Amino acid sequence: MRFLSTLIATTLGALIAFGVMFFLGFMFLFAIAASSDQAPRVRAGSVLTIPLSGALPEISSDDPFASSFASGPTYDLAQFKNALAKAAVDPRIDGVWLQMRGLSGSWATLQEMRGALETFRDSSDKFIVASSEDHAVSEKAYFLATTAEEIYASTQAPFEFNGFYLAAEFYKNAFDKLDIKAQPIRAGKYKSAIEPYIRSNLSDENREQLGALLDDQYDVFLSAIAESRSLQEEAVLETMEADAILLATDAYRAGLIDDLMFYDEVESAIKSKLEIEADDDLRTVSMKSYVRVPDKEAGLEGGGEEDIAVVYAVGTIMPGKSGYSTNPLFGGDILGSATFNEAIRTAVESDKVKAIVVRIDSPGGSASASDAMYREIERAAETKPVIISMGTYAASGGYWMAMGGDMIVADPLTITGSIGVFGMSLDLSSMYENKIGVTFDVVRTGPYADMYSGTRPLTPEELHLLERSVDDTYASFLELVAENRGLTVEEVDAMAQGRVWTGVDAKNNGLVDMLGGLETAIDVAAEQAELAPGSYDIRRLPRPKTMLEQFNEALAVRSQKIWLNLTASPIEQILVQESENLRTIIEMNGEVQALLPTKITIQ
């Protein structure tokens, strides 16, 4: 007995000691990070180095810990563009060095980044140089690199120049293995969000709309490369489709890059451009550091007593608070209607805020939550100018909420529209019975009380009720768009049907007012609020979570998993893992959804 008590005491002591050491270590690292958050010292004659790696987020935290220890870009799209605007007027910055290191992200974001690089190049007498070092050159990285005067790649670097593709995921076979039966209802022949659960491949309608998106992106890419490299589009097209360049040596022979150089040789070329002696060091400042340089220190004038609020709407739309889901099938940013509406009310109630820009990057989601956010935007527009800015996605529920603004500005490659809805019921009874031996029997007050329980299939009468709900929601969607876009319901229905469009096509169809990025939307908001250029500050809402807050949330989730592994039986652990994969689908059970047809990622 004494041995057991001694063992428990020793174990608890070790755990407490470990906890104290972990806490002190964490606080020490945090203190280092906080001390590094001071504005960097930029020396005269510096080159701004920009690693083209990872995906640039729509909004990021200003947390110094994240800036020091997180992987990937710690700045966001707005900070990237502002840093280039500073660098264009900063006398200490002589040029920009783009370093291609595995860039990802959406094409709409890349197009805004490319526009910012072009503005830097055209508005200043400073150079841009791009190089791959020893990394592969992807089509996305090359799209940005073509803003440079010279593009270099190492001799054996892979060079991706073989066309685009889009892969859609389908879960029907997985559902079959799990004995899950989906009973979907949709409004709109292109509303293919239900297809992953009932098909194993693309329908003709879905293939048509995705093919159109791919063609639009392809045209933008070919045009940009041809213009930047002084080539004929036909020649670029032939090179991509006939030759399918896969090595930097081939790219050099085709005139797509200027020379084959290693890192040290590129550095020497930049020194020569700046007339720096070969033995002297090249002065550089990283984008990660430069974003913290105050605007006025760099010579960028602006700011004042009044604000324009940029309210971010990022993620899949759901009722409640915003957050992040780690679900392997449906994870990602969650745009909670409660969090968003609170941010809008904060902007409305602030006397300092004179106009609002709603930046939407959402594939949609819950129709009811989308409608609630639309209402909050509409109310805000009654008191202040509200401009909608569309990023990567503003589709389905993301387009629904956009109807509340005064004007819509879309990126040319924004994926928008998808005016259509669907509802789906899942029958999990076979999975429960065949996989784990669980059956159900119910007592109910009425024939439809358990229709969304998931423990049985819907009856024909219940399917009719779901169909009526979906049709009513679709009719409301059409009427909302018709009223706000100055169109008839019939005109909207003809271009709706759940179909997605690029920003360019949406502009031609009357679904958006003008093309442009976030800065364009801010300029329009300032004009409507009668604010002179440079006389206002940008206030970003809602406040992004710090890395410490994200760490605490992740630690809580991890603790739950550790406890589960210690206390649950193997079969219980399997059930929990399966429930994680099904949780989001089950949450959609019976609720009408305004959600993008599929995960659209052009590679």
Q: Which residues are catalytic?
A: 191, 396
Reading the block at residue 327, the tokens are 């679900």
Task: State the CB neighbour count (10 A cutoff) for residue 287.
Answer: 22
504 vs 220: CA distance, rounded Å: 11
User: Among 462, 417, 517, which residue's Cα sits nearest to residue 56?
Assistant: 517
Confirm if 90 and 109 have CB atoms less than 8 A apart: no
Residue 245, strand partner residues: 161
* Cis status of the peptide bond prior to 597, with omega within 30 of 0: no
75 vs 72: CA distance, rounded Å: 9
Task: State the CB neighbour count (10 A cutoff) for residue 482.
Answer: 18
Helix or strand (DSSP H, E) at 259? strand 259-260
Signed CA dihedral, 189, 191, 197, 199: sign only: positive
Cβ-Cβ contacts under 8 Å for 195 (sequence gap 6 or more): 168, 170, 202, 203, 206, 597, 598
Helix or strand (DSSP H, E) at 130? strand 127-131
Reading the block at residue 300, the tokens are 């960028």
Q: Which amino acid is at 69?
A: F
Phi, psi of 44 (to 5 degrees): -60, 145
Strands (E), 5-77: 46-54
Indicate the pairing of strand 407-410 with strand 386-395.
Answer: parallel
| Location of structure tokens 């606080």 | 27
71 vs 480: CA distance, rounded Å: 42
Confirm if 544 and 333 have CB atoms less than 8 A apart: no
Output the DSSP codes for 307-361: EEEEEEEESEEESS--EEE--TTT-EEEEEHHHHHHHHHHHHH-SSEEEEEEEEE
User: Among 80, 78, 111, 58, which residue's Cα sits nearest to residue 411?
Assistant: 111
